[in-house]
């Protein structure tokens, strides 16, 4: 499962090794600005309207967000394997709870040995805690946002704990998988849970092995879920005081004001030097910016890691005496789906030439330079181009469909359309032959579509207005409307037989961030099985795109450890245009206190590492 991304305005970053070395230096010092630094706490600004509100790591879709996982849970509950190394999307062995996985020669099982770090109550983190997660997620997969039918956890048939080594567990798989895929996309989703504390069905009940039966695991989930929804009790509930990460919750309220203190029992290589780490909520980014501006010195700043709204980014220099500005690129792509399953417009979208014409009309460079004030980068395919990685090849770094209205017009005219620039083009040569509109497109069909996009983002308003104008150059009429994020996401699902379904295009302002399945295989976005009425789309295939060639390429990325399989897949989809590729604006435009060190490089998975922060 990955997070569906929009503008993740609130997610902080990672710490460099240089900071790790210096983290041991505590106490007062003199800052680079000459002021004596006496602070021992730091404050992080939560994204506008994105307060953490769920502490139990087994989160359902409603709570499966960057603000809940990367900004909050991961600080207390470390995943089995940590991804994010020096600003790259790579397995970080030093921060992981276990040694690197060892795959059997046939690829059908994988052995994991934990490092023996301890929970905050002194108990060792063992294979049983991993098994507890596995049992819980298997029995409650319908309540877990990471569930993907046929894949994790369905592809784990059983787990075996080594009787001679309580730190070793073996996962037995349904088939052979590529080690890269299984580590980056399946094992990456596991978070060991404190079985000796959480495996119970009520607050007053005794701890047992309830998770070993599906009914018991469901009862335990029901209890833990209810406790996790009681935000006001987090700081007093003993369940949440047992943690594996570097931080423990000191207090939290329903508004999102969070205070954390170091977990002295944390087994990781970097221990916190701050005495307290705070998170503060904001309902609007302008309110957060006002608070940034209220600071008069690095020492009296009430926000140490904040952000500047897109529209105000040109004012970043006014805060340069207190804050360092930096851009935060997430491991993400941006796009919006066309509805291939719409009975009226679907046949048009299924024509590759039409999709090519649509992509030819997207002026990504202008969007970036004008709407984003230069703070963005283009998307040309399914694999993120930032940060640089081995996953992306040279083909996807170049634009297969550069902005060209004339080429779009030519494509339409060459395929049976009479182009009416500024108006609405129509199909005047129906049929499936060469030079004809294509299957399912009747005579007189109009190139007129609705596009609903998320409201409340000025840059997106600019982008969409320009988009409408550019599309009109080829006679593709776009009817724009706006709606809240949840509405747009809710609409963007494939049509089902017998139910009304009229949407053509939906844009939630972002796309997809590959986390916590970090290898961008696209299996959850564009894979499908079956055909006709029995077709099954991937869980996040919003537009109902289904292509057997793409499906075969996706499967190859899962079973092969050769990166060439990834290149084949991404090149094919970059050309096939399962969606309209749009430019990415940075996940956040950071403003970080100049005296707060250890914040760089930024983590593309939008995770934060306050245990590495220090004042200087």
Give the binding site for other proteins (CB under 8 A).
Answer: 289, 311-312, 314-315, 366-367, 370-371, 455-456, 458, 461-462, 465-466, 468-469, 472, 480-482
d(CA 592, CA 304): 6
Q: Of 54 and 289, which has the nearer Cβ to other proteins?
A: 289
User: Which SS3 state, helix, strand or coil, does residue 183 take?
Assistant: helix
Smallest distance from other proteins to CB 522, Å: 31
Minimum Å distance from CB 456 to other proteins? 6
Which residue's CB is nearer to other proteins, number 254 or number 481? 481
Q: Considering beta carbons, is residue 95 or 591 the nearer one to other proteins?
A: 591
End-to-end CA distance of the chain: 39
Report the residue number, 108 or 370, with the smaller CB distance to other proteins: 370
Q: Cα 490–496–500 angle (5° rounding)?
A: 75
Rounded Cα gap, residues 340 and 495, in angstroms: 9
CB of 449 to other proteins, least distance (A): 16
CA distance 104 to 102: 7
Closer to other proteins by CB, 87 or 583: give it.
583
Q: Which is nearer to other proteins, 94 or 296 (CB)?
A: 296
Residue closer to other proteins by CB (options 404, 536) is 404
Backbone dihedral angles phi then psi of residue 454, each to the nearest 5 degrees = -70, 140
Element (H, E) at 138: helix 127-139
Distance CA 58, CA 146 (A): 9
Nearer to other proteins, 207 or 483 (CB): 483
Q: If we measure between CA atoms, which residue out of 142, 190, 185 comes closest to residue 514?
A: 185
CB of 314 to other proteins, least distance (A): 5
The angle subtended at Cα 448 by Cα 447 and Cα 454, nearest 5°, is 130
User: For residues 129 and 195, what is the distance between their CA atoms, to the nearest angstrom?
Assistant: 5
Measured from the CB of residue 506, what is the shortest distance to other proteins in angstroms? 16
Q: How far is the CB of 469 from other proteins (least distance, A)?
A: 4
- In whole angstroms, how close is the CB of 484 to other proteins at the nearest point? 10
Q: Which secondary-structure segment (H or E) carries 276?
A: strand 276-282
Task: Output the smallest distance, CB 466 to other proteins, in A.
Answer: 5
Q: At its nearest, how many Å lie between other proteins and the CB of residue 426?
A: 21
Pairing state between β 505-507 and 448-454: parallel
Place of tokens 């609903």: 452
Nearer CB in complex with other proteins: 367/526: 367
Nearest to 44 by CA among 302, 246, 421: 302
Closest approach of other proteins to the CB of residue 458, in Å: 5
Q: Among residues 239 and 460, whose Cβ is nearest to other proteins?
A: 460
Q: How far apart are CA 194 and CA 118, in angstroms?
A: 10
**Tokens of residue 616, six digits:** 């200087």
Q: Least CB distance from residue 409 to other proteins, whole Å?
A: 16
Count helices and strands in the chain by DSSP H and E runs: 17, 30
C-alpha closest to that of 553 among 541, 562, 566: 566
Give 479's strand partners: 450
Closest separation in Å from C-beta 358 to other proteins: 17
Task: Identify which of residues 149 and 374 has a Cβ nearer to other proteins in the complex.
Answer: 374
* 42 vs 319 by CB, closer to other proteins: 319
**What's the CA dihedral at 384, 386, 388, 391 to 10 degrees?**
-10
Cβ neighbours around 2 below 10 Å, total = 22
Single out the residue of 544, 441, 450, 545 nearest to residue 497, CA to CA. Answer: 544
- The residue assigned the tokens 């202008």 is 366
Q: CB count, 10 Å around CB of 176?
A: 15
């Amino acid at each position: 499962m990955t997070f569906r991304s929009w503008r993740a305005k609130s997610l902080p970053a990672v710490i460099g090794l240089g900071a790790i070395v210096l983290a041991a230096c505590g106490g007062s010092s003199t800052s680079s600005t000459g002021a004596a630094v006496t602070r021992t706490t730091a404050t992080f600004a939560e994204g506008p309207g994105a307060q953490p509100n769920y502490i139990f790591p087994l989160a359902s879709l409603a709570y499966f967000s960057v603000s809940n996982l990367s900004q909050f849970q991961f600080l207390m509950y470390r995943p089995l394997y940590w991804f994010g190394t020096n600003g790259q999307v790579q397995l970080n062995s030093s921060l992981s709870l276990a040694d690197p996985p060892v795959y059997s020669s046939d690829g059908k099982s994988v052995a994991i040995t934990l490092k023996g770090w301890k929970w905050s109550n002194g108990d060792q983190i063992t294979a049983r805690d991993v098994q507890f997660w596995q049992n819980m997620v298997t029995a409650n997969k319908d309540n877990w946002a990471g569930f993907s039918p046929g894949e994790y956890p369905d592809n784990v048939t059983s787990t075996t704990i080594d009787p001679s080594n309580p730190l070793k567990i073996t996962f037995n798989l349904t088939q052979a998988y590529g080690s890269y895929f299984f580590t980056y996309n399946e094992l990456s989703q596991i978070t060991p849970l404190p079985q000796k504390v959480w495996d119970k069905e009520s607050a007053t009940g005794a701890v047992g092995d309830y998770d070993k039966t599906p009914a018991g695991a469901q009862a335990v989930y029901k209890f833990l879920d209810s406790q996790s929804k009681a935000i006001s009790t987090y700081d007093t509930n003993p369940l949440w005081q047992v943690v594996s990460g570097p931080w423990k919750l000191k207090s939290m309220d329903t508004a999102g004001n969070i205070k954390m203190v170091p977990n002295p029992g944390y087994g990781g290589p970097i221990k916190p030097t701050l005495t307290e780490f705070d998170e503060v909520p904001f309902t609007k980014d302008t309110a957060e910016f006002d608070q940034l501006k209220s600071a008069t010195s690095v020492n009296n700043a009430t926000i140490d890691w904040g952000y500047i709204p897109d529209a105000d980014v040109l004012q970043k220099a006014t805060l340069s005496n207190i804050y360092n500005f930096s851009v935060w690129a997430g491991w993400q792509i941006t796009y919006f789906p066309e509805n291939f399953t719409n009975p009226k417009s679907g046949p048009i979208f299924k024509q590759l030439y039409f999709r090519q014409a649509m992509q030819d009309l997207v002026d990504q460079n202008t969007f970036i330079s004008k709407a984003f004030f230069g703070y963005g980068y283009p998307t040309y395919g399914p694999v993120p181009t930032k940060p640089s990685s081995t996953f992306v090849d040279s083909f996807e770094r170049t634009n297969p469909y550069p902005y060209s209205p004339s080429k779009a017009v030519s494509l339409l005219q060459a395929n049976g359309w009479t182009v009416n620039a500024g108006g609405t083009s129509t199909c005047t040569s129906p049929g499936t032959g060469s030079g004809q509109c294509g299957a399912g497109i009747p005579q007189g069909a109009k190139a007129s579509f609705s596009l609903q996009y998320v409201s409340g983002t000025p840059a997106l308003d600019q982008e969409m207005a320009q988009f409408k104008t550019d599309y009109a150059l080829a006679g593709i009429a776009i009817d724009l409307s706006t709606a809240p994020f949840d509405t747009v996401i809710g609409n963007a699902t494939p049509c089902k037989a017998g139910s009304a379904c009229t949407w053509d295009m939906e844009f939630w302002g972002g796309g997809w961030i590959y986390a916590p399945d970090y290898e961008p295989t696209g299996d959850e976005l564009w894979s499908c099985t079956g055909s006709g009425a029995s077709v099954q789309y991937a869980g996040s295939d919003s537009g109902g795109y289904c292509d057997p060639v793409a499906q075969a390429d996706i499967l190859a990325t899962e079973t092969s450890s050769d990166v060439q399989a990834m290149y084949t897949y991404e090149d094919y989809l970059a050309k096939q245009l399962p969606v309209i590729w749009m430019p990415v604006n940075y996940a956040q435009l950071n403003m970080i206190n100049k005296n707060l060190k250890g914040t760089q490089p930024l983590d593309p998975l939008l995770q934060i590492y306050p245990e590495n922060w220090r004042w200087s």
